[in-house]
Amino acid sequence: MILMIEPKNFVEELMKNKLGPVIEVPCTIFGPVVNYMVDNKIPLETPANEAVAMGLAAGHYLATGKVPVVMMQNSGLCNSLNALTSLHGIYDMPALLVVTWRGEPGTKDAPEHLIIGEKLEKLLREMDIPYKVLTPEGYRAEIKEMAEKAEATKRPAVLVMRRGIIKEHEGGKKDSKYPLDMREAITIIKEAMDGKVAYVSTTGYISRISFNVKDTSDFYMVGSMGHALPIGLGVALETDKKVVVLDGDGGCLMHAGAMASVGAEKPKNLVHIVLDNRAHGSTGGQPTLSPSVDFSKIAEGFQYKNILTAETASELKGAVKKAMEKDGPTFIHVKINQRVPPEGEIKRVSSVHTCPEIKKRFMAKF
């Protein structure tokens, strides 16, 4: 029997060491911990990206003197480096980071994790950030040691979390409030636009489902969450072809400042579609900040020319038709439910195409 850590025990150990609050940007590996906290109404903060998470952590520390916990994927650690160096590093502010080890050498993982996975320990050493790799047998002592290190040095310390170390905790029911699911929405979009546009589809289920609905040589993103819109904008500024960005609520919020560039550049051929299911689907359905956001008003504030909304199949068909007919930039906010096909029913793009192949096929459109 493989020894694993119960999510409940992990959270209790953080509390026992007087650590908190817990701030997280989701990863599959610690998904069970987040699901346990959500289900048990334990306070949890879910900022849009890792840099914001570090800012929140600094604010909490300044007000309380208590060491906060920030949980993130190792790719997200790169997103936090500015704060780690020019905020926490120079103001002597501690934090306990729980960083997952995607792409760990010797393990099989998706291609977007391989570079950071290989370099993670070297990066931490180069940044002089103390760390321990969590073990099921010693996690209590490891949490205590790194918490004490952060407190004593007034600097961040890291617990590295490997895949499979945390026991599963599935979480609550999926939100089925809206009639369309992701596959249905993407099918409608592709049937209306197929062959006429260039798609940039964001990382996670959106790229996977777009690929499974119909492989239309999208720029399928298998990583770099939050960058779908700037990529699509860059493409749109170099072509007369319609460019459609298939975005998610989490990805859009992660680097929402890109919408300001859309408003400034005003590309007539850009269509930005946000498929909003209020969850980070591919990491286990952890909640996003979407319920507190009015995407249409944000798009209006950023000077998109056309702003459309849809919740039903007929509304989405109408919105897509208008987007194809009108000069943009056009924003379509589509509220969908959280149902996704079972994992075995949707092939990963990376199981068929390498990332350089995805790039080459997309570039052949122009």
Report if residue 168 sits inside a domain: no
Whether residue 125 is found in the same domain as residue 32: yes
Which whole number is the average pLDDT over 343-361? 89
Whether residue 148 is found in the same domain as residue 191: no
Report if residue 256 sits inside a domain: yes
Which whole number is the average pLDDT over 254-263? 95
Which residue, 161, 191, 213, sits at the end of a domain? 161
Whether residue 153 is found in the same domain as residue 193: no
Which pLDDT value is given to residue 154? 97
Contact partners, residue 54, CB within 8 Å, separation at least 6: 70, 80, 83, 84, 87, 88, 95
Write the burial class of residue 365 (CB in 10 Å: 0-12 exposed, 13-18 middle, 19+ buried).
middle
Whether residue 344 is found in the same domain as residue 210: yes
Which whole number is the average pLDDT over 102-113? 90
Q: Classify each residue of 10-28 as buried b or exposed e, where b means 16 or more C-beta atoms within 10 Å of its C-beta.
A: bbebbeebebbbbbbbbbe
SS3 for 72? strand
Asked if residue 1 has pLDDT above 90, the reply is no
Report if residue 2 sits inside a domain: no
Which residue, 161, 191, 224, sits at the end of a domain? 161
Report if residue 202 sits inside a domain: yes
Whether residue 150 is found in the same domain as residue 199: no
Whether residue 128 is found in the same domain as residue 21: yes
**Rounded CA separation 339/318 (Å):** 23
Q: Residue 284: give its domain's CATH number.
A: 3.40.50.970
Report if residue 170 sits inside a domain: no
Residue 27 sits at φ, ψ, to 5 deg, of -145, 145
Whether residue 131 is found in the same domain as residue 188: no
**Rounded CA separation 315/312 (Å):** 5
Judge contact between 204 and 225, C-beta under 8 A.
Answer: yes
Which whole number is the average pLDDT over 335-361? 88
Provide the domain limits for residue 102: 7-161
Whether residue 44 is found in the same domain as residue 118: yes
Domains contained in the chain, number: 2
Report if residue 169 sits inside a domain: no
Which whole number is the average pLDDT over 34-53? 94
**Confidence label for 363 from pLDDT (cuts 50, 70 and 90):** very high
**Rounded CA separation 74/102 (Å):** 7
Which whole number is the average pLDDT over 12-16? 97
Whether residue 351 is found in the same domain as residue 246: yes
Report if residue 338 sits inside a domain: yes
For helices 7-16 and 31-39, the axis angle rounded to 10 degrees is 80
Which whole number is the average pLDDT over 34-44? 93
> pLDDT tens digit string along 166-224?
999 876 566 778 999 999 999 999 999 867 899 999 998 999 999 999 998 999 998 88
Whether residue 156 is found in the same domain as residue 189: no
Whether residue 310 is found in the same domain as residue 238: yes
Which residue, 128, 161, 194, sits at the end of a domain? 161
Whether residue 31 is found in the same domain as residue 74: yes
Report if residue 117 sits inside a domain: yes
Contact partners, residue 59, CB within 8 Å, separation at least 6: none
